[in-house]
């Protein structure tokens, strides 16, 4: 029994923030510099009444429609986001009802960020190959803008909001499959990318609300990133992960048709590509139009690679992610 | 390895029109162009050219090009 990526769709909130918009807000920035340093031209941002689970709902509806999928066939739902709606009930349970999925469908939330898609894919593979489920809907959704300080230009330049819906199905006689995984974790880097005051350990208090009163209170917490440490971390862990993914799948670099990494930022991706000696035509990026959409970035890029004819049936595609945690993981899928 | 080679590489990556403004005693944070982007450029360059990982914490501890060179030498395999 093979688990395979069957279909992907994604949804972007309507509001767009261009580099020009950011340069108007932060006069020290220039459009040319922003594009050169990040590879990003624009990003979509959500509104306060459209949370991750709402974007995920819209992405799932798009998936059912675009790929003519019978929603009653879904027997497991994984909802992954770094900003959960609430501690309970799981947003996945609410989504089961909103999406009118079968009540025989399992549903869990995974609170994870940049590596959320590859981890969800690994869990989906395990559920399918263990005989526990046959059609798994993975919804990865991110709303970083809701926890970004409006004066934090660095974060506003990089991150975009989005949701992706991916159907992973079991296939008896198919050449398409999800390969073996490399996973990694180093919690010592937790402080370098963190949403402060976002949970019950250290919730917002009166002092915090007062301090941030002029910008609406930052009631759901504040995203903070030490970009330099994150950059250094990625350069440290991605090359050995790359080797490990190939080794676990008994493949060599030349066997891979396309590489899709977490779309963190254009500069980091180009440094990693050169370091790993991957040719430009085999290294697919989709960041210019959407920014870094955290756990939605790989499925969005994969969806665009398929649309562009860069990822084709039968090809081997390496997916690799790294980020908040620190956490990293990757696999090779055969489309 | 030679510190002049590091200086030449840094000046090139920083896109300085006048490479001579970078010497062994130049303080990175004293450069009028200095930004967090330059820190990323240093990390990327040192990793690609010398296969050494520099962290953000390392950059906080050092000041000059010579300091950076010393770290590279101490970590070079």
Domains and CATH numbers, chain B: 3-17+24-75 (1.10.1200.10)
Task: Note the ipTM here.
Answer: 0.92
Closest residue on chain B to A29 (Cα): B35
A154 contacts B36? CB cut-off 8 A: yes
DSSP tag of A106: E
A232 contacts B43? CB cut-off 8 A: yes
pLDDT of residue A202: 93
Using alpha carbons, list the distances in angstroms from residue A126 to A26, A304, A314: 46, 26, 22
- Distance of residue B24 Cα from the nearest chain A Cα, in angstroms: 23
**A262: annotated active-site residue:** yes
In tens, the pLDDT along A277-311 reads 999 999 999 999 999 999 999 999 999 999 999 99
Task: Tell whether B52 is within 8 A of chain A (Cβ).
Answer: no
B48 contacts A232? CB cut-off 8 A: no
Phi, psi of A11 (to 5 degrees): -130, 135
> Nearest by CB to A236, which of B39, B53, B59?
B53
A111: part of which helix (H) or strand (E)? strand A106-111
User: How many residues appear in chain A?
Assistant: 335
In tens, the pLDDT along B10-65 reads 999 998 888 888 999 999 999 988 988 899 999 999 999 999 999 999 999 999 99
pTM of the model: 0.96
- Structural domains for chain A: 2-173 (3.40.47.10), 178-194+223-334 (3.40.47.10)
A267 contacts B36? CB cut-off 8 A: no
In tens, the pLDDT along A197-234 reads 999 999 999 999 999 999 999 999 999 999 999 999 99
- Distance of residue A55 Cα from the nearest chain B Cα, in angstroms: 32
Please check whether residue A196 is in contact with residue A221, taking contact to mean a CB–CB distance below 8 angstroms.
yes
- Distance of residue B28 Cα from the nearest chain A Cα, in angstroms: 15
The rounded mean pLDDT for chain A is 97
- Of the listed A80, A262, A265, A303, which one is catalytic? A262
Nearest-5° Cα angle at A263, A259 to A268: 90
Q: How far apart are CA A275 and CA A265, in angstroms?
A: 16
Closest residue on chain B to A154 (Cα): B36
| Residues of chain B contacting residue A36, judged by C-beta atoms under 8 Å apart | none
Closest residue on chain B to A37 (Cα): B37
Q: How far apart are CA B57 and CA B63, in angstroms?
A: 12
Question: Sorting pLDDT into bands at 50, 70 and 90, what band is A195?
Answer: very high
* Lowest mean pLDDT segment, chosen from A8-22, A129-143, B6-20: B6-20
Q: Which residues contact A121 (CB under 8 A, 6 or more apart)?
A: A5, A138, A166, A168, A178, A319, A331, A333
Of B75, B73, B42, residue with least CA distance to A231 = B42
């Amino acid at each position: 029994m093979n688990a395979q990526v069957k279909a992907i769709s994604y949804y972007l909130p309507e509001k767009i923030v261009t580099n020009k918009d950011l340069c108007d807000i932060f006069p020290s920035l220039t459009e040319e510099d922003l594009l050169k340093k990040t590879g990003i031209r624009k990003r979509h941002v959500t509104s306060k009444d459209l949370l991750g689970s709402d974007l995920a709902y819209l992405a799932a509806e798009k998936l059912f429609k675009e790929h003519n999928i019978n929603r009653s066939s879904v027997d497991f739902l994984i909802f992954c986001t770094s900003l959960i709606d609430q501690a309970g009930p799981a947003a996945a349970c609410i989504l089961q009802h909103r999406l009118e999925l079968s009540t025989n469908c399992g549903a869990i939330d995974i609170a994870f960020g940049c590596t959320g898609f590859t981890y969800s894919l690994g869990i989906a593979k395990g559920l399918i190959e263990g005989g526990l489920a046959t059609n798994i809907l993975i919804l990865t959704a991110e709303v970083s803008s809701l926890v970004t300080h409006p004066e934090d230009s660095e974060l506003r330049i990089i991150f975009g909001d989005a949701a992706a819906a991916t159907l992973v199905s079991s296939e008896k006689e198919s050449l398409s499959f999800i390969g073996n995984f490399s996973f990694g974790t180093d919690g010592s880097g937790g402080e370098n990318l963190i949403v402060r005051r976002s949970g019950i350990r250290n919730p917002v208090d009166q002092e915090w609300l007062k301090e941030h009163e002029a910008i609406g209170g930052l009631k759901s917490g504040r995203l903070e990133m030490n970009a330099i440490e994150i950059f250094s971390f990625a350069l440290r862990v991605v090359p050995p992960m790359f080797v490990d993914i190939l080794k676990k799948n008994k493949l060599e670099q030349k066997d891979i048709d396309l590489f899709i990494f977490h779309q963190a930022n254009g500069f980091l991706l180009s440094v990693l590509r050169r370091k790993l000696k991957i040719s430009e035509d085999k290294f697919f990026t989709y960041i210019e139009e959407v920014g870094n959409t955290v756990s939605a970035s790989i499925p969005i890029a994969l969806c665009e690679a398929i649309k562009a004819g860069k990822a084709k049936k039968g090809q081997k595609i390496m997916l690799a992610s790294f980020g908040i945690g620190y956490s990293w993981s990757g696999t090779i899928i055969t489309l | 390895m030679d510190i002049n080679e590091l200086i030449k590489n840094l000046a090139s990556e920083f896109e300085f029109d006048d490479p001579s403004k970078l010497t062994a005693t130049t303080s990175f944070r004293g450069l009028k162009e200095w930004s967090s982007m330059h820190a990323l450029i240093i990390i990327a360059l040192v990793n690609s050219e010398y296969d050494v990982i520099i962290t953000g914490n390392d950059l906080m501890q050092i000041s000059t090009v010579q300091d950076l060179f010393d770290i590279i030498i101490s970590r070079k395999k």
